[in-house]
Structure 1
Amino acid sequence: MKAKGFTLIELAIVIVIIGILVAIAVPRFVDLTGQANQANVDATAASVRSAYAIATVQAKGVPTCDQILGNLDGGTVSGTTWTSADKKTTVSCDADKDTLTISRTGGPSVTLNYNIQ
């Protein structure tokens, strides 16, 4: 009668192969969060650029922070700050410095320079 099953060497080889695959795959998945945060900030920056263009047309000149932030959808405006619905992305408007800063909690930020009243 012949014994069936795997030898210790065969099991060790399988474990080593699985370890190599995990070592290759894990760093790729770990970096996805950073890439997702950057993509979110970039998308919000594109929305801010559009909101600025719309506000400029509506104001027939240089818009105010309220006009710019009022053209952003999917969030709430409080003073000179817009906050996304998930509360993780904010757009801060500073008319004195002519800047709009987009930031993500625990992630990157981008500052846009525009003429703002």
Structure 2
Amino acid sequence: MKLSLNGLLKVSKTEKRTTTRRNKNMNKLDIAISNSKHSKPYYHKIIIDLLVQLVTSGRYRSLTSFKQSSDKLTTKQKEALRRYTGSIICLLEIGMAFHEIKEFLSESETRA
């Protein structure tokens, strides 16, 4: 089962360019996860959940809990989502495992 951030970003019709860019980033993320030497069947879920935790500053622990809320991402959170997604893609491509990615991004978040 593949998960995506479609439920995380609620986009209006006027934000079509953003949707295209988001889909492109999510496709790159899906490919990076699939190509990772550490990839497991549950990797999509745990990486998407990590993105949700990072972007919402821990308020939500999973995509499911975020989707059940009525919250929407702010512009700042959407930008953070793009940055974190790009970072995760790069970290997967250099061969990092999930626990290393989580530790790295969590540490960089506390320093910022």
Provide TM-score, normalisation by structure 2.
0.32
| Larger proportion of strand | 1
Relative contact order, higher structure (CA 8 A, sep 6+): 2
Provide TM-score, normalisation by structure 1.
0.31
Which of these two proteins has the greater Rg computed from alpha carbons?
Answer: 1
